[in-house]
Structure 1
Amino acid sequence: MTETTAAPRAGKAWWKELWAQVMIAMALGIVLGITHPAFATQMQPFGDAFIKAIRMLIAPIIFCTVVNGIAHMADMARVGRVAIKAIIYFEVITTFALIIGLVAVNLWQPGAGMNIDPATINASVIEPYVKQTSAVGFVPFLMNIIPNTFVGAFSEGHILQVLFLSVMCGFSLIWLGERAKPMTDVIDVGAKMVFGLVKIVMWAAPLGAFGAIAFTVGKFGVGSLSSLGKLIGGFYVTCIIFIALVLGPVAAFCGFNLLKLIRYIWEELLVCIATTSSETVLPRMLTKLEALGCEKSVVGLVIPTGYSFNLDGTCLYLATASVFLAQATNTHFDLSHQIGLLLILLVTSKGAAGIAGAAFVVLAATLAAGGTIPVASVALVLGVHRLMSQALTPTNLVGNAVATIVIAKWENALDTARMRQVLDGKPVPAA
């Protein structure tokens, strides 16, 4: 790890920084979306191509990072301990997220007064999402962790399947002992090669951000904001409240300032907001959190697991959207119904790993499982789902960054002095 990953290089022109290039690209995309919306929607392939380019590297990065980390850890009991601590933390924090989402939407009441008759909603637009809900659930989720073939996990890009194989291979290398060294050396070189590819792909991040944001503004634009502005605005505020009231105190308890952490991952947050995908920055998050002082093996386990189990922003979205739809359709949804919704969401929010448009699919699955709110009503938020994703995805990212530091500290695998130096922007020795 080089010093430049921990802090910006002194004297580097501001316009050469990735965050500046992404912000300029986003501004240009917004302008194009407002002035030439039809042309702006044609920019979507730039954003999609960038996301695909990053996604093709995620599986090999997770495999190399996790296998190498476990092999060097050489302690299977510790791997299990880290995993258990992570799952406990994830469950507690996501429960807080669901509760805050429910409280906020009940106070804000964005759907009150809309008086929409579910029978008048065109349900055909949500059929592709509803068809996927049969795969959502706790048992299918557990079964889906095991891939059909070794290669299939990589070709299909399922994060949890790749993580499962990585842990198994890591354990196998531990059992081999010294005989495994040639293989671990190859995997280590392979990891360096793949991270080199990430640097190449990230040169296209401004273009990807431009295409994604231009498409969003051009397609949904001011009309979507005005018609469902109360829902969107309330959801953005809810995400900020969750970050401030839950993640802020957790960060303070662990000895770091959350605002400084947000500043440290600012470039990743901008890319995440523009592309509405946290997967686009997963490789860089692995590198940055290791540079921050978290032990490589802990980072390799917690981040990929968190991308399925610790989706704080997604939980806020599910709770907010569900109650909003009940309000909009005048569906009776009292406290007992909302407690039932909370219990359902504790399962369904973890059961959509690897499903395209996971948050929207889980929303449909949750309404179907509850049986109270009309499933067809999810069509009301389909048009603004992408706009809401621009709040939920960065919330997921911040939540997973905090989680990694918390678990590393809990496991005595955090260089606290280095973390404070990096977050303060001071130069640190190469790791």
Structure 2
Amino acid sequence: MRTPIYKMLYVQVLVAIAIGVVLGVIQPDLSVQLKPLGDAFIALIKMIIGPVIFCTVVTGIAGMTDLKEMGRVGGKALLYFEVVSTFALCLGLIAGHLLHPGAGFNVDPATLDTSVIAKYTTGAESHGMVDFLMSIIPHTFFSGFTEGNILQILLISILTGAALAQLGDKGEGIVAGISSATRVFFKIVHYITRLAPIGAFGAIAFTVGKYGVHSLLPMFKLVGSFYLTALVFVLVVLGVVARLAGFRILAFIRYIREELLIVLGTSSSEAALPMLIEKLERAGCSRKVVGLVVPTGYSFNLDGTNIYMTLAVLFIAQATNVDLSLVDQLTILLVAMLTSKGASGVTGAGFITLAATLAVVPQLSVAGMVLILGVDRFMSECRALTNFVGNGVATIVIAAWEKSLDRARLEQAMRGELTTQPVA
């Protein structure tokens, strides 16, 4: 029997977002006070992310007959991430040259108040690649879970899964227990997901009420350029990648529409991470691939953030009338490939990576970041959406590359024929 339209989660979230926007416009003071609704929903999701990743990765790796397979999957994922991320960075530069979002501003950096960006520029200095690599190692076995650090949880999960795989028959009881726990955690995810309309309503109402739609007008060209570039990346670059892997990008977007609306409403791709894991498994991707690729992608496959960084650098250069040479732009490109990973998981990561990237070109003033700060919140939704779609596509591609993809189930998913029951 067809589900009534008012019971469909994506419809509920869409209506909640629309109501939140309207309320933010007509009652901004009240809307700002609704921020806890969005924060509470994200907190609930983050509470369950650690256990979901742990169980998914452990059972996936424990089921591998050869641990070399784990290294092969991880290596392919990192190679894919680097190639596609580079495309995203280059597209941001190209868009900056074609659209000239900063032209006509004629800003003198000396007149800008840099106190409002101090916390981001300080963070950029203290989060280099070495700090990032060291931060992957948790202080204790459980600290990654208590701190919500996805990469630390992933490391613990890989080690646990590898150990259980080596134990063979002796570890089967533990693997069976973890597999059963997976069903419990996904059931909890389903309960929490029903609250998504409330969370999206509170988060979007706060954003519009706090910053006001009117704040977009002076910077509309930058925001519009970023959204357009991200759309081109998803439809063209990821569209081509998807076609080569045997599916259509628009069909995939339709398949994850509920999760995308949750990401849109909360400005956080993490808010829909557990649901993405479940949907990818349901669509025919093996658990071992999903468990490795999705969590890793949340730190290494930030396509939206990459587009934002290079486009924002060119915007600041144009707004402050700085002419960047080809060498300067290539330097920015190379540094951005590193800084986009080095600040992963850090609060304000997009701004911190931007500050670190600006620092490599002496003639570019970090003070120019002040120009973007006011509308950064409105661009964070697009960053999160692009990152989310990119990680979903990456997982299917790696699964296909590994011959761990059930093509029949994928085709059913893309046609919208699969049930919404949890993965067993």
- State if a TM-score over 0.5 links the two structures: yes
Matched, 1:72 2:60: no
Query: What residue in structure 2 maps to residue 419 of structure 1?
Result: 410
Query: What residue in structure 2 maps to residue 156 of structure 1?
Result: 147
Give the whole-Å Cα distance in 2 for the aligned partners of 1:384 and 1:20.
27
Pick the aligned partner of 1:51 from 42, 58, 61: 42
Q: Percent identity?
A: 50
1:81 alignment partner AA: R
Pick the aligned partner of 2:13 from 5, 11, 22: 22
State the TM-score, normalized to the length of structure 1.
0.95
Matches within 5 A, 1:93-112: 93-112=84-103
How far has the Cα of 1:135 moved from its partner?
Answer: 3.3
CA contact (8 A) 1:158 1:353 kept: no
How far has the Cα of 1:136 moved from its partner?
Answer: 2.4
Give the whole-Å Cα distance in 1 for the aligned partners of 2:229 and 2:97.
12
Matched, 1:268 2:272: no
Matches within 5 A, 1:193-342: 193-342=184-333
Give the whole-Å Cα distance in 2 for the aligned partners of 1:346 and 1:370.
15
CA contact (8 A) 1:67 1:169 kept: yes
How far has the Cα of 1:383 moved from its partner?
Answer: 1.2
2:111 alignment partner AA: T
Give the whole-Å Cα distance in 2 for the aligned partners of 1:79 and 1:371.
43
| Cα RMSD, aligned residues only | 1.4
Give the whole-Å Cα distance in 2 for the aligned partners of 1:167 and 1:279.
20
Query: What residue in structure 1 maps to residue 123 of structure 2?
Result: 132
Give the whole-Å Cα distance in 2 for the aligned partners of 1:30 and 1:222.
9
Closer, same or farther: CA 327–427 of 1 in aligned 2, 3 Å: closer
Query: What residue in structure 1 maps to residue 29 of structure 2?
Result: 38
Closer, same or farther: CA 57–370 of 1 in aligned 2, 3 Å: farther
State the TM-score, normalized to the length of structure 2.
0.97
Query: What residue in structure 2 maps to residue 371 of structure 1?
Result: 362
2:153 alignment partner AA: V
Aligned residue pairs total 422
SS at match of 1:150: coil
2:7 alignment partner AA: K
How far has the Cα of 1:427 moved from its partner?
Answer: 4.4
Give the whole-Å Cα distance in 1 for the aligned partners of 2:351 and 2:187.
34
SS at match of 1:228: helix
Give the whole-Å Cα distance in 2 for the aligned partners of 1:144 and 1:362.
16
How far has the Cα of 1:222 moved from its partner?
Answer: 2.4
2:315 alignment partner AA: F
Give the whole-Å Cα distance in 1 for the aligned partners of 2:89 and 2:357.
13
1:338 alignment partner AA: Q
Give the whole-Å Cα distance in 2 for the aligned partners of 1:269 and 1:253.
23
Give the whole-Å Cα distance in 2 for the aligned partners of 1:334 and 1:221.
37
CA contact (8 A) 1:70 1:171 kept: yes
1:242 alignment partner AA: F
2:201 alignment partner AA: F
Deviations 1:230-282 (A, max 9, x none): 00011100001111221011111111111000000000001101111000000
Instruction: Give unpaired runs (5+ residues) of structure 1.
Output: 1-9
CA contact (8 A) 1:136 1:362 kept: no
Give the whole-Å Cα distance in 2 for the aligned partners of 1:371 and 1:311.
26
Give the whole-Å Cα distance in 1 for the aligned partners of 2:169 and 2:406.
28
SS at match of 2:142: helix
